[in-house]
Structure 1
């Protein structure tokens, strides 16, 4: 007895979709690189925010390294889906950390959700594999 697995068939993304996906992904990458660099440099603004959020100040450079690794994975086409999953987890941590310290909901707590949506949208637009996965 043989079984046939069926997969949703999707067409390859159009040239415009791929271009739009890379633009959206680039915006996410620029923001995340900025976040990684300020954490790596452990600037005063990061120290102040860490203290307000109840995080150890010496944790910032470690967060910066994690963020940088995730961004690198996200920009490598073959590793982009893994990078997007890890980025989602990273941003989920930002959501809960901001939420538990009663930060403004729409402008601060949800901002990480907006970035996560943009990251997945950019990847979906530029990567046929992700389209096929999400269409199944």
Structure 2
């Protein structure tokens, strides 16, 4: 990756740690669905999903997370994971779950993009923290 800005080692490592945590958590969630653990199936059914959809959900989450973990495809992975998390928010809203259950996917979405933003000058230019007025 060529950059026109020097990224500090602290910023780079922070981004990798955040991304690594997301990847680990989401791969664990995908594995639960793919292997159809009792907890994954029970939760999915409780939230209104058919038991037969659990495997497909797991595969979609696995592929999205894998794309996010690979540097060249991290942006498309982040887009797909953001869509996944939007579905999670909608599911919790439909089920009238507590506000925390709706906020957690939003927080994960912020961390997903923050991890990439910290090391990608192109994202920093697109979404500056400070306006250049």
TM-score w.r.t. length of structure 1: 0.86
Aligned counterpart, 2:107: 114
Of the two structures, which has the highest relative contact order with CA contacts closer than 8 Å and spacing of 6 or more? 1
Q: CA deviation at 1:13?
A: 2.3
Q: CA deviation at 1:85?
A: 0.9
Unaligned runs of 5+ in 1: 1-9
Aligned residues of 1:53 and 1:101 also touching (Cα < 8 A):
yes
Superposed CA RMSD: 1.6
Aligned residues of 1:12 and 1:128 also touching (Cα < 8 A):
no
Give SS of 1:126's match.
Answer: coil
> What is the CA–CA distance in structure 2 between the aligned matches of 1:129 and 1:75, rounded to whole Å?
18
Q: Does 1:97 align with 2:95?
A: no
| Misfit runs of 4+, over 6 Å | none
Q: How many residues were matched structurally?
A: 126
Match of 1:125 among 99, 109, 118: 118
Larger radius of gyration: 1
Aligned counterpart, 1:67: 61
> What is the CA–CA distance in structure 1 between the aligned matches of 2:62 and 2:18, rounded to whole Å?
18
TM-score w.r.t. length of structure 2: 0.88
> What is the CA–CA distance in structure 2 between the aligned matches of 1:51 and 1:60, rounded to whole Å?
9
Give SS of 1:130's match.
Answer: helix
